[in-house]
Amino acid sequence: MKIVENTQKTICYETTEKQETRTSFPLRIFALFFHPSTHVTAMGGAEKRFVETLKVFCEQDNVKIAVLESSPSLLDAPKYKCKKYSLPWSFHGKGWLSTYLEWGFWIFRALFKSLSILQIENPHVIFVTNNTLPNLILGYFVGLISHKPVGIIVHHIDIPSAKIGAKDSLYCSYRNIDYTRSVSLAKTLAFYITLSLLKKTNAIVAVSNFTAKALRDNGISKSKIFVSGNAINFDFISGIKPYRYEKIFDGVFAGRISKEKGIFNLVEAWKKVVKNKENVKLLIIGSGLELDSLKKMIAKDELEDNILIYGRCSDIKLYSLLKSSKVFIFPSLFEGWGIAVAEALACGLPVVAYDIPALRETFGSCKNVFLVPVGDIDRITCEVLELLNTTNGNLCEISRDYAKKFEWKKVAATDLEAIAKFASEVLNKNVD
């Protein structure tokens, strides 16, 4: 595989059986990494993916990467041997409207910052690290101005489910999980803007076959889609000690506190669990714009003694809390892969989740992942109660053995191969 520049220098990319990479001339990548402020939510799966794959990118002698990141930085560790540029948020507000305004201000400032970075770094390719609108819109304009090829990682796109809304209406899906009309309209509009911009990019790296199919079904050319994957840091997770050596939490959820994560369905299910089994404790780990509504629901249902909210936390604390829990419950309605599920498995937990395509693809063959129909709160309750009453001592090892196969080095190598391939095709075309 070759990337030929106007200078007639070449970049050759190879992948060995050990998933190592080699280039004969540095492949220069300019990565755009907008991530939500910690006042909105803790680091999500899309952010974890770039943080982990970047470590592998930085180990390659002939890959040079510069990153424009929103602050506070997630890349402060010395292991990130790349050029880092940080750009703070303009202001901080509350609610969906202020969040969208924040995005707009950051995009505007980041575009001007990117122009100076382009002159300094002269990259071969613009790498958009996930498909949130701030990253995607910025990537489109940076590519348009610089005439550089643009590639993007698509973690997931929201696809309507017949179980939560009208079969062909994403807007109705949002309305049926109790978003207001204005928020549902804004999220639906964001979806179609995302699709429009994805069609203009040179290449897309999808994290699952389901995500790739969803993109094709929505008009994205098959020729520009690569399928990579996701992973977890299994060795790191294995080295974390439990918060308590006894299982002090009967159930646990970790993720963004939002309606599409099924967080309110979880409370409904746990209310039924409590009626069947007294004094059970559910731990909710995470933060998000729906946190206040969640607290009000818990108080209204008088579940303060049975549901504990921890909030956002470090990965070390997260894994220690997971290891002190019995069952991971994840009723998410929209997923592209399911890093939270893989992390729970690595901590030795059985998982109860909604049967959505991405989770079925990645975890459907795991005997310790119990998928129930979307919206079926009674089935969640039954599965959780059965697991809480089980005495099967092999559950932990079944989960851990399944999680071992997910490796960041393999994912990062596939990403680099895709980046080099589409950059090669575009630059060769420009030379011709």
Strand partners, 354: 372
Which pLDDT score, from 0 to 100, does residue 9 have?
41
Which 3 state secondary structure label does DSSP give 104?
helix
Question: What interhelical angle do 133-146 and 181-198 show, nearest 10?
Answer: 30
Please state the separation of Cα 116 from the chain's center in Å: 29
Q: What is the token pair recorded at 239?
A: 């080295």
Find the angle CA(321)-CA(266)-CA(274) to the nearest 5 degrees.
Answer: 85
Tokens 């019995």 belong to 326
2-231+408-427 and 234-403: identical CATH topology: yes
> Rounded to an integer, what distance in angstroms lies between the CA atom of residue 374 and that of residue 127?
34
Which pLDDT score, from 0 to 100, does residue 25 have?
55
The helix (H) or strand (E) run that includes residue 172 is helix 170-176
> Rounded to an integer, what distance in angstroms lies between the CA atom of residue 72 and that of residue 80?
15
Which 3 state secondary structure label does DSSP give 278?
coil
CATH number of the domain at 2-231+408-427, please?
3.40.50.2000
> Rounded to an integer, what distance in angstroms lies between the CA atom of residue 200 and that of residue 295?
42
Which pLDDT score, from 0 to 100, does residue 162 have?
43
Maximum distance among all Cα pairs of the chain, rounded to whole angstroms: 72
Q: Which fold has domain 234-403?
A: Rossmann fold (3.40.50)
Which pLDDT score, from 0 to 100, does residue 2 have?
36
Per-residue pLDDT of the chain (432 residues; tens, 9 = 90+): 333 333 334 444 444 434 444 444 588 999 999 987 655 555 788 999 999 999 999 988 889 999 999 988 888 776 778 899 998 765 555 666 677 778 788 899 999 999 999 999 999 999 999 999 999 999 999 999 999 999 999 998 887 554 444 455 788 888 888 888 988 898 889 889 999 999 999 999 999 999 999 999 989 999 999 999 999 999 999 999 999 888 999 999 999 999 999 999 999 999 999 999 989 999 999 988 899 999 999 999 999 999 999 988 889 999 999 999 999 999 999 899 999 999 999 999 999 999 999 999 999 999 999 999 999 999 999 999 999 998 666 789 999 999 999 999 999 999 999 998 888 776 666 554
- Taking the CB of residue 183, how many other CB atoms lie within 10 A of it? 17
Which pLDDT score, from 0 to 100, does residue 384 have?
97
> Rounded to an integer, what distance in angstroms lies between the CA atom of residue 383 and that of residue 65?
46
Which pLDDT score, from 0 to 100, does residue 7 have?
37
CA atoms within 13 Å, Cβ hemisphere of 192: 8
- Which residue, 368, 408, 42, is CA-closest to 237? 408
Which pLDDT score, from 0 to 100, does residue 75 have?
87
Which pLDDT score, from 0 to 100, does residue 13 have?
43
Burial bucket for residue 185 (CB in 10 Å: 0-12, 13-18, 19+): middle
* Domain edges within the chain: 2-231+408-427, 234-403
- Range list of H helices, 336-376: 339-346, 357-363
